[in-house]
Structure 1
Amino acid sequence: MSDVRTKYRDSRPESKENHDPSRLDFLYPPRMEMRNWIRSARKKADLTQEQLGEKLGVTKGNVSAWENGRHEPSYAQIQEISVVTKYPMPDSQPGASALATLDSKDVAERVQEMLTETGMDAAAFAAKVEIPLERVESWLKGAAISIVEAVAIQNVFGYNSAWVLARVGEKKAAIQYNDEYRPKALGKRKALAVVGMAQLGDNGFWAEVEYPVGHGDGYIDWPTTDPDAYAIECSGESMRPRIKHGEFVIIEPNHPFQPGDEVLVKSKDGRVMIKELAYKAAGRYTLLSVNETHGRITLEETEIDKIHYVAGIAKPSMWRPD
């Protein structure tokens, strides 16, 4: 490829091929061919330099500079020229590998593949990507996809832009998350009374809740909007590393809970446990321990005194005596 490199545009560094892991280097046509190709495409479409410039959103001077070899269009502009003039894209070097050939049939196949996988027709696909329907219809006829369009498709549908352009690399790009920012109000900090102790396992040890809400064995400062929130000291290792011995859990009794949440469960026989709620079915609660050495336990609804939502975990250093 050393003989090919010398024919590329002067502005591209000699080591370009060593820094092009996507293998899209072939997309940039040789300099001497480019000005002739632009002139031929324009004349074939019976356009003046000014008319071509208007269709591309550039000035007549830009087109003139391209045709005189003083400047070169971007690859996206080359594709636009091909679409506007209906003139074939300039070929890569003779003898280049099949990978380095932009095949119009393959373009149409890739676009149809995306339409099938997304379950959309051309109109819906175009609307989602926010491009004219005519562009998608032209792709289905083999017209080239611009880099800007390929990036837009990647951002909307997750298809790798290199794959969209030339079936290079993985079909799907790395997942990017753009979740809506919806902060949850934490409420004002309150002094939550530590009202008792909860055994983290179900191995015979338990402790009653000893103090009424608002009074207890010291306090934990915690932001909450639940007026009845309280704290429980935890003993045992069954939820380690999620909850460690000596830490405190913050309980919000007025907060709804669902499967997957951690909950404080007090049974009618006096046991107080912190468990993960697996599910409720047929009047039974199935509870899990994070530590796999402790199995699940199932309690009848009639055996349970109360279940409260665990809102957070506080370190021992957050405890204060009064």
Structure 2
Amino acid sequence: MGLADRIKEAMGDRKPGAFAKETGVSPGAVTQWLDGSTKTLKAETAEAIEAVTGYSWRWLTTGKGQKFVELDMSTVTDPPAPKNLKRVRFFDSATVEQELIDQGPLTSEPNFVPVVGMAKLGDNGYYEEINSTPGDGDGTVEAFSEDPGAYALRVRGDSMFPAIRDGWYVVVEPHGRPTPGEYVLVKLKDGQKMVKELIMERPESITVVSVNGDTRRTILREDIDSHYGLQPVSAILPSSKWRP
């Protein structure tokens, strides 16, 4: 099945002009798909078609993989839940990237972020992961996140009170862009792990401060774990947001 056939199937009973308007492309582009003069499909265009039709952008562009977007049926409501609302399991950056390919475009709708472990807080924002079972974890938290690799840690201890309270959750976005003035999760090559407020970024270093505003520290980028890097904390959630 070529691109023209896949586009025709996704269009269904839609007229070319209406289909072009729904997907945000020109009528001429639709005509070129249907007559076979265009053999490829841009990823952003395929994502737009997926959002309209429910046909997977990967299948539209390559003819491979699942034809339709997969839904997590436990989240379907009446009216139906948005497409692509699916629990994402976090293993490592390579796996997350693969799951991004498999699941289609990002969503800004509320979704369920997996809790992959617990962070036992120590002094000055340092923490130790305990009971960490990446990808299996302990339930989910309801959060707004556009990162399909987002994950949550349950926080134990009062060293970051009142910003982060015992038993609450932090949502981390490994694909997000850290912004000065916001909290970040930092993992160093020597094994140190911390949640800090990012004060400043330089090409060769970052400056962070304890959540309670006491201790500043400058960290060389060469000392940051290259696998995990610097990950923004997108949300701090109370225990009421947890779901089994």
Give the TM-score normalised by the residue count of structure 2: 0.48
Largest Rg, 1 or 2: 1
More strand per residue: 2
Greater RCO, 1 or 2 (C-alpha within 8 Å, sep 6+): 2
